[in-house]
Structure 1
Amino acid sequence: MDRKVELISFGGIETLRMAEFEPPTPAAGEILIRQDAIGVNFIDIYQRTGLYPLPLPAVLGVEATGIVEAVGEAVHGLRVGDRIAYAGLPGGYATRRVLPGWRAVPLPDDIDAKAAAGGFLRALTAHMLLTRVFAAGPGKTLLVHAAAGGLGSILTRWARRSGCIVIGTAGSPDKAEIARANGADHVIVGRDADLVGETRRLTGGTGVDFAIDGIGGTMLARTLDCVRKFGTVASVGQAAGPIPPIRAEDLGPIRSIALARPSVMAYAAEPETYRAASEAVIGALRDGTIDGRIGREYRLEDAPRAQRDLETGATAGCSILVP
């Protein structure tokens, strides 16, 4: 019998429970996969708490790698036994699942399944931020919050590959060392650091071209002061809690900055975009931009603990579940 982690109500980690199930037969356009490794992301926590509500009961998890076990009609280019990765669709906390065929990204034999599962969604997010939200390139200066975290690590490495100058933030000296190892040119250390003052000092008083905030809470308001005139801020999460309202006057005309609130789920829902971005992600896994290191590995039944560790900042890098 297959197993899944089911969300029965919105709230804390106690709302997650193990359940057994019979996997369905794939319909036309679908495939059935046996999952090898499953990524754990903040969106899983947002869905669990009801910030991004799903119909209940629900199975969380929006990225994984696996092996194709059955192929429905009208699916082209996939065969039983193929290794695949996917991102952008809940239902991942399970030993098996059905998936629309177009979501399956062929996984080359030289790419580790765990590395792909832990970094695929975050890498898609980085691709979205550094191509569609902001055109990253040589000489551009970026501020990346939590540069030792799962997303921050990939963003830092990808931005440096693009020729950007990266200022990272880290909550502790140990995490600052990880951020530097990721390629950050400068790291601002400590939750109470003078973020604005240090950023302005490091940029000669002008501010960064692009700032990416996945922390939320009061951090977004502080981040607005770190960006140059006509720069851009992207808000991609709220690990520290709800974000107080931002007024139009907080953005301009004095600051003259742009604020984006992009969704990687919406980005990955565009089939053509998803295919192109996935090719870039596979390339980044292959050339080492995504280094493949997993911060924490948990058993499927330990999904509540994995979410708690991510939520409390006890992890660095990416975390995965192994069925």
Structure 2
Amino acid sequence: MKAIQMFETGGPEVLRLVDVPVPAPGPKEALIKIEACGVNFIDTYFREGRYPAPLPYTLGQEAAGIVEEVGSEVTTVKVGDKVAWCGVPGTYAEYAVAPADRLVHVPDGLSSQQAAAAMLQGMTAHYLAQTTYVIHAGDTVLVHAGAGGVGLLLTQMAKRLGAWVITTVSTEEKAELSRAAGADEVIFYNQEPFEVAVRRITEGVGVPVVYDSVGKTTFEQSLKCLAPLGMMVLYGASSGAVPPFDLIRLSQMGSLFVTRPTLKDYIGPRKYLEWRAADVLGWIDEGALKLRMEYSYPLADAAEAHRALEGRKTTGKVLLIP
């Protein structure tokens, strides 16, 4: 089968299309023929070496497809089922194995492309809005990268919960997408400091939560956007890692909270995976949650997909199609 592997860390050029054996499922695993796999910033962190991985390494942690074989102890899925999963390495490939307890069934009304586009970013948006900081009706929230995959979904979920949503974007095209997702206020971060804009919009009060996937270039201003007792939710670092931070500053800025969550901890127990996946896939199936997935690349063009993602040339979800 074909797979995208890296034999060294570095830029997109280290990604290579190679032939590897089709993996065999263990007793508690399933073999899936992948129909679509998601491209996410976490993949670039592994490629760069920011997150360590054994080499050679097959990238990708999110996909959807059809079950081709199941292990001897698997009872939750069967051959022919359409399933989706995330958080299991090795999805930039034509086939992959995954633990059966990490697989969720895809509703009949959804394609594998929709399911692959929804799992990681959709469940990330879900835990951000429903658990890390529980959004309540009337809250004003700040969402960075408002036209990105998580940003668009998080905006929609925040609106479902009754929030007033402020987003940051870089272009008018992205602003239009963010507004279409429900953003009430859109800030062009390249035209004015977003901290100034947030303070103006909130009449100096600030916001109770900032959802920040950018990291290094936004962290300091994001803290200054928070009201006393506010929470800084740093769930990504597309601009680089945040430098070391003296925690005493949190008390000086209003007894603030900072958290660095990751999806795997919010879907660890099976019941939480089922809850989040059922909500996300169900809302999409009902038409209540809109996906944007106009950027699809052949598996062989994974390097180009990474360049587009890192160059902020994409909006919504980026997919690879084996």
Fold agreement, TM-score > 0.5: yes
1:295: which partner in 2?
294
- Identity between Structure 1 and Structure 2 (%): 38
- Contact preservation (8 Å) 1:118, 1:294: yes
CA deviation digits over 1:51-105, x for unaligned, max 9?
1111111111111110000011111121110000101111110000111001110
CA deviation digits over 1:171-213, x for unaligned, max 9?
1111111110110000001324221111111112111111011
1:268: which partner in 2?
267
The whole-number CA distance in structure 2 between the counterparts of 1:92 and 1:38 is 6
The whole-number CA distance in structure 1 between the counterparts of 2:296 and 2:117 is 10
Deviating more after overlay: 230-239 vs 279-288: 279-288
SS of equivalent residue, structure 2 residue 177: helix
The whole-number CA distance in structure 2 between the counterparts of 1:197 and 1:33 is 49
1:245: which partner in 2?
244
- Contact preservation (8 Å) 1:168, 1:179: yes
CA deviation digits over 1:26-49, x for unaligned, max 9?
111000000010000000001110
The size of the alignment, in residue pairs, is 322
The whole-number CA distance in structure 1 between the counterparts of 2:220 and 2:156 is 26
- Contact preservation (8 Å) 2:12, 2:303: yes
Counterpart code for 2:209: F
The whole-number CA distance in structure 2 between the counterparts of 1:254 and 1:194 is 18
- Contact preservation (8 Å) 2:153, 2:291: no
1:101: which partner in 2?
100
Map 1:121-136 onto structure 2 (within 5 A): 121-136=120-135
Counterpart code for 2:299: L
Counterpart code for 1:184: A
Q: Is residue 2:223 matched to residue 1:224?
A: yes
The whole-number CA distance in structure 2 between the counterparts of 1:172 and 1:259 is 29
The whole-number CA distance in structure 1 between the counterparts of 2:240 and 2:288 is 30
1:40: which partner in 2?
39
1:204: which partner in 2?
203
SS of equivalent residue, structure 2 residue 53: coil
- Contact preservation (8 Å) 1:233, 1:259: yes
Superposed displacement of residue 290, structure 1: 3.3
- Contact preservation (8 Å) 2:23, 2:95: no
2:185: which partner in 1?
186
SS of equivalent residue, structure 2 residue 85: strand
Unaligned 5+ runs, structure 1: none
- Contact preservation (8 Å) 1:116, 1:285: no
Q: Is residue 2:83 matched to residue 1:84?
A: yes
The whole-number CA distance in structure 2 between the counterparts of 1:188 and 1:24 is 47
Deviating more after overlay: 188-197 vs 129-138: 188-197
Deviating more after overlay: 77-86 vs 238-247: 238-247
SS of equivalent residue, structure 1 residue 251: helix
Aligned-residue RMSD, C-alpha: 1.3
Superposed displacement of residue 112, structure 1: 2.1
Q: What is the TM-score normalised by the length of structure 2?
A: 0.97
Unaligned 5+ runs, structure 2: none
Q: Is residue 2:157 matched to residue 1:158?
A: yes
The whole-number CA distance in structure 1 between the counterparts of 2:86 and 2:78 is 19
Superposed displacement of residue 242, structure 1: 2.4
CA deviation digits over 1:105-126, x for unaligned, max 9?
0001101221221121011111
SS of equivalent residue, structure 1 residue 168: strand
Map 1:130-145 onto structure 2 (within 5 A): 130-145=129-144
- Contact preservation (8 Å) 1:154, 1:289: no
Superposed displacement of residue 289, structure 1: 4.2
Deviating more after overlay: 283-292 vs 53-62: 283-292
1:258: which partner in 2?
257
- Contact preservation (8 Å) 2:107, 2:282: no
- Contact preservation (8 Å) 1:33, 1:97: yes
1:61: which partner in 2?
60
SS of equivalent residue, structure 2 residue 261: coil
1:176: which partner in 2?
175
Residues 164 and 157 (structure 1), Cα distance of their counterparts in 2 relative to 1, 3 Å cut:
same
Counterpart code for 1:43: I
Q: What is the TM-score normalised by the length of structure 1?
A: 0.96
